[in-house]
Each structure stands twice: as C-alpha cells, then as structure tokens.
Structure 1
Amino acid sequence: MKASAVTRSGGAQVRRAARGPAVEYAARAGFTARGVIYLLVGLLALQIAFGDGEHEADRGGALAEISEQPFGAVLLWALGIGLVGMALWRLSEVAFGAVGEDGRSAKKRLLSAVRCVFYGFMAYSVLTFAAGEGGGSNSSDQQSKDVTARVLELPAGQWLVGAAGVGVAIAGLWIGYRAATRAFHKKMKLTAMSRRARRVVDVTGVAGGVARGLVFAVAGVFAVRAAVDYRPDRAKGLDDTLRSLAGTPLGPWLLVVVAVGLVLFGVFSFAMARWRKV
C-alpha cells in the first residue's frame, strides 16, 4: 500500500473517531455540566434579587453552593470532567469540522476554537476548585478588574479593552438574536422530540438565550466604559453585572426576569444534552 493511501486511511479513521460515541458522550456531558452551572447561577441571582444571597451569582458562587451539598466533591469533579468533554468536542470541530453544511468553513472552525478555549478555562477553574486549590472560587468581578487593570497598562491598552468590550457586547446581541429567531432549531433533532418537548425547548431556548445574551451585552458595555474612563474598577464580572440590573429604574424585577432566564438556559442546556446534533 502506498504511503499516500495509508495516510488517507489513517486520516479517515481519525475523522470517524472524532464522530464516534466517545466524542458524542463528551459533548453531551459538557452540555449537562453547563446546564448545572447556569441553573445554579440563575437561582443565586434570584436570591440576590430578593435580598437573600449568601454566594455571588457567578461560576465561583455556583461551585461554592455545590461544595456545601452532600457528595459535593464528587459533583464538582463530575462537572469539571464534563466541561473537559465539551472543550475536547469543540477541539474536534476545529480539527475536523462541525455538523451541518458549512461545518468545515473557516468561520465555524474559528468559533469552535473560541468555544474550546472558553470551556477549557471553565473546566480548569472547576477542577482546581474541586482539587481544593480554590481556582474556581475567585470572584468573577475581581478577576475582571484584575485583567482589565493589567491590559490597561499595556501599550494601546485602552483600545484593547475597548475592543474586547465591544466584541463581548456584540457577541451578547448576537446570542440574543440567534435565540429569539430560534436558530438553535438547526442544531436540534426536532423529529425525535414530542410536541411538548419541542415547546419546552422553544421556551427555554428563546428566553434563556435572550437572557444570556443580555448579560453578555451589559458586561461588554461596562468593559467599554472602563476603557474610556481608564478605570479598571468599572469593569464588572457576572455577579456585578447581574447586581447592576437591580439598580435600573425597573428595580430588582429586571434582575428577577434575567435570573429566571438563566435558569431556563440551564434547562435548555439539558435539552441540548439530550437532542443536540453532535
């Protein structure tokens, strides 16, 4: 057999492995882990809205909440491993393309690369928390301020922070638009759902996605403000972003609405774990 034929055969085997059950299980475990985190963040935000929040409404607060439950350590390790699975699945999309007609396009591969890095960081923070190193317990607000302060010290730091803020805000608007237009239908096994399940997916996907997009957009605006004012303390993490919603003319009710939306996004993530095309 010629070397080129062996190479093609080996490449085909790798691609089949990337589409195999192991990668599929990894992706579905990742969606489940994401659902748990968003569900808890939404519930923590609801507690804050009603003046009874002991933990911050971000990933660190969610991890702290889990650690206080029976078998909390086991749950933390399971979440971390699930997020590793999500990162590996996104990495396989970078290498071999995603499902869909344009799954191998440069745009799709770039999006998968960004998501791979994002979920890789999430997995690292959860696993370091589970290992007792406290990596996941750091406040998202303090992390945002620290990172913003370091970037502002760089040459053209204000432009970098401002550009990042604009990017996050645009991403938030894009997430909300995609959710409102039910773009997720293309990625779901709709024919495998009952009519009731499809209604649940539509409600949780739209409401949850819009709420998630709003949070991203507001966080991006705060980052732009920090760049313009050259004040890293104006940058906000997830917890501060959610709390800022309670300071609007609508009062805590806007926070309640967004918090419920994040809970629904957690439920939607569970639906993705069940019916997402992988």
Structure 2
Amino acid sequence: MTTAGSSWAAARRAARGDVVRGGARAGFAARGVLYLLIGILAVRIGLTGTNEQADRGGALAEVAATPFGAVLLWALGIGLAGMALWRLSEALFGAAGPDGGGAGKRALSGARFVFYGVSSFLVLAFAVGDRGSGAGSTDRQSQDVTGHLLGLPGGQWWVGAAAAGFLGAGVWTAGRAVLRTYRKHLVWDRMSKPQRRFMDVTGIAGGVGRGLVFGAIGSFGLKAAIAFDPKESKGMDDAIRSFAQTPAGPWLLVAVAVGLVLFGVFSFGQAKWRDV
C-alpha cells in the first residue's frame, strides 16, 4: 500500500474511533443545551411578553450568567467542535448505516460540518470575551446579511434561494420527525420500551417545533426577497415571536417553544442512543 493509501486508511480508522464518536455525543449534548435554553426563553416570552432574546445569543447570555458560565461556554463550544469533526468524517468517509456512503448523504454531512464549525467558532469567541460573535440578535444579523445579498447582482434571487432553503429545511425537518425517520439512526433494537417512547415523544414534537421555526424564517426571507426590503427578514428570535401574531395568539408561540425544549431533550437522547 502506498504512503497516501496508508494515510487515508489511518484517517478512516480514526474517523471510526472513540475520539470522533465521543465528539459526536458531546455535540448532541451541546446542541441539546442550546435548544433547551432557547425553548425556555421562548416559553417565557409567550407567557409574560418579556424582551428576552430567544436565539443563540440569548442562550449564551443565560449560560454566561451562571456561576460556572465561562467553563460551560467552553464546554459548549468544544462540544459543537466535536459535532463538526464527526460531520466532517461522515462527509469524507460516509455515515454509519447501509446508505451512509451516498453522495447526497456526504454532501449533507459537509453542509452540517460547516454549520457546526461556524457555531463552535462563535461560541468559543464568545467564551474568550468577544461578545459580538456568539451573541447579538439573529434578527439584526439576518437583516444585515439580507441587505448585503440584495445589493449584489441578482440579489433578490440569492435571498429567495436562501429563504427557499430554510423553508424546505423546515418542511423536511418536520416531515422526518412525523415519519420518525430518526429511528434508523438510533440503536433502536437495544433500547427499552420506555426509552423508545421517550425518543418518539421528544423526537416528533421537537422536530415539528424546530421545523416550524425554520419554515417561519424561510417565509420571512421570501417576503424580503419579493419586497426587496431586508427589514422583512427575520432571525430565530423574531420568527418565534411571529407565532404570537397568528389567530392562535401567544399559545401557538408557547406550543412551538415547548417543541424547542423537547428538541433539546431529544438531542440529549441522541447523545446516548445515536448510532455513531
């Protein structure tokens, strides 16, 4: 075997090793903490109308305010880095399962690697004192990015494509939750009946709640593209608040918020029972 071949085989073995698998589980736990806090903040907004920020920045501010906030922020950032590393290994060598080596699966893992890599960087930057990185309103950030894209040639199409991506991701996320496709990624045969019920309840409700938020972000993005107005774009915080403006009122916002809490809990279950 050539030196390059030996190096590739060693990298493949490392990708299947305990370090990468441990990083994946730490990543699911970190994601769970963030969604749990975002959901709790959103519940408080729905019940009291508080001006708290129901997005990543709000969640990080909550963590930073705890007695061991600095340590927890580092743990979250490192956990998300572990998730990014695992997704990179899937993109390079294929995911676990019989269909994990397909081009589509690898491309999706590559996109997730970028997402979690950026998320980890922002959280770690926040941990070292750059409060403008991990915090900051996602609504303002969304409007800034939308305004920049609209200023490019064909800007409306760029914004529309990104918005359609969010909208599609919302439908895809909620649909997969309802169809319970997450089961094939779990060690389902080794789980007890109560454990399976726990993952079904949190997986379905959590996935639908998360999908609704993604869908709302996408719908506002489409409005921004059509109106050629970045102010129509909304990040996670304003997208969550928008559910209170529906005929169902604040109770729909609370229902979506509870869904986000349950998605956080579901992520903890994935940290334990996901086949990585």
- TM interval, shorter chain, is over 0.9
1:171-186 alignment, distance < 5 Å: 171-186=169-184
Q: Does 1:44 align with 2:41?
A: yes
* Match of residue 208 from structure 2: 210
Deviations 1:190-249 (A, max 9, x none): 122111111000000000001101110111010000000001011000000000000111
Structure 2 counterparts to residues 1-278 of structure 1, below 5 A: 4-51=1-48, 53-134=50-131, 135-278=133-276
Aligned structure 1 segments of 4 or more residues deviating by more than 3 angstroms: 4-10
Letter in 2 for 1:100: G
CA distance in 1: counterparts of 2:151 and 2:49, whole angstroms: 38
Structure 2 counterpart of 1:196, which letter?
A: P
> Could you say what secondary structure the match of 1:241 adopts?
helix
CA distance in structure 1 between the aligned counterparts of 2:193 and 2:207, rounded to whole angstroms: 21
Partners in 2 of 1:237 and 1:5 — Cα distance?
A: 50
Deviations 1:69-91 (A, max 9, x none): 11011000100000000011101
Q: What is the deviation of 1:55?
A: 2.4
Aligned mates of 2:146, 2:275 — CA distance in 1? 37
Query: What is the rounded CA distance, in whole Å, between the counterparts of 2:259 and 2:245 in structure 1?
Result: 18
Deviates more, 1:209-218 or 1:5-14: 5-14
Q: Percent of counterpart pairs with the same letter?
A: 57
Equivalent residue of 2:234, what SS? coil
Q: Give the distance between the partners of 1:5 and 1:165, measured in 2 at CA.
A: 46
Whole-Å separation in 1 of the counterparts to 2:196 and 2:93: 30
Deviations 1:82-115 (A, max 9, x none): 0000011101111111111121111011100110
* CA distance in structure 2 between the partners assigned to 1:212 and 1:52 by the alignment: 21
Per-residue deviation, 1:53: 3.1
Question: CA–CA distance in 1 between the matches of 2:180 and 2:9?
Answer: 34
**Structure 1 residue 9 displacement after superposition:** 3.5
Question: Cα offset for 1:11?
Answer: 2.4
Q: Distance in 1 between matches of 2:112 and 2:3?
A: 32
Aligned partners of 1:224 and 1:45: how far apart in 2? 24
Whether the aligned pair in 2 keeps the contact of 1:55 and 1:64 (CA below 8 Å) is: no
Measured after TM superposition, the shift of residue 52 of structure 1 is 5.1
Superposition deviation, residue 6 in structure 1: 4.5
Contact 1:223-1:234 within 8 A present in 2 as well: yes
Once superposed, what is the RMSD of the aligned Cα atoms? Answer: 1.0
Question: TM-score scaled by structure 2?
Answer: 0.97
Q: Secondary structure at the match of 1:98?
A: coil
Q: How many residues align?
A: 275
State the one-letter code of the partner of 1:224. Answer: L
